[in-house]
Amino acid sequence: MSLTKTDKAIILTIWNKIATQADSVGTEALERLFASFPQTKTYFPHFDLHPGSAQLKAHGAKVVSAIGDAVKHIDNVGSALSKLSELHAYILRVDPVNFKFLNHCMLVTLAVHFPNDLTAETHAAWDKFLALVTAVLTEKYR
Ligand code: HEM
């Protein structure tokens, strides 16, 4: 799956908006994940998963920051996220299906925060980008 030049430009534009509200976007995406796909909570037995908890906020910020790293290295996401890929595959052993759930929740969060920006084109480009991030984070399973 490759991103076109147009995709990359669109991703950068929406990322610049996300970056202004990064922490709340990340936290909300996680809150949606745990509410809509409660099985994902099993990976976080050591977290306080109540909406708005300090741990959720801190983790939401980390997830969005990693996505920011991927945006910054959009032509080389594999090496930018290589450590994170090892963490999720070898240590956390997150079942890859869960990435689809998180991507969906992230997209819904973007739609809520940036309703005017999430055009069909932006939706499609962002979807492709998150699929690329997922491919990198789950590649060590193969
Ligand atoms: C940890 C990013 C998907 C479960 C992390 C960390 C980051 C991150 C940056 C912190 C690493 C560190 O502290 O060194 C991402 C990104 C994802 C993603 C960018 C996809 C876009 C998932 C999914 C799950 C998951 C789908 C499971 C449902 C975890 C767990 C931790 C973690 C359990 C450790 C939390 C802790 O103990 O602090 N992830 N993650 N991640 N992630 Fe992910």
CATH of the domain at 110: 1.10.490.10
Count structural domains, the chain: 1
> Helix 54-72 and helix 5-18: axis angle, to 10°?
150
pTM reported for the whole predicted model: 0.96
**Alpha carbons 120 and 4: distance in angstroms, whole number:** 16
Instruction: Give, for ligand 1, the residue of 77, 101, 102 to mutate: max count of ligand atoms closer than 8 Å to Cβ.
Output: 102
**What is the model's pLDDT at position 142?**
57
**What is the model's pLDDT at position 141?**
75
Comparing CA positions, the residue from 133, 132, 105, 107 lying closest to residue 120 is: 107
16 CA → ligand 1 middle, Å? 22
Range(s) of the domain holding residue 12: 5-138
Comparing CA positions, the residue from 141, 132, 139, 124 lying closest to residue 14 is: 124
**Alpha carbons 36 and 77: distance in angstroms, whole number:** 28
**What is the model's pLDDT at position 71?**
98
pLDDT mean for each 10 residues of the chain (142 residues): 93 96 96 98 97 96 97 96 94 94 97 96 96 93 66
88 CA → ligand 1 middle, Å? 7
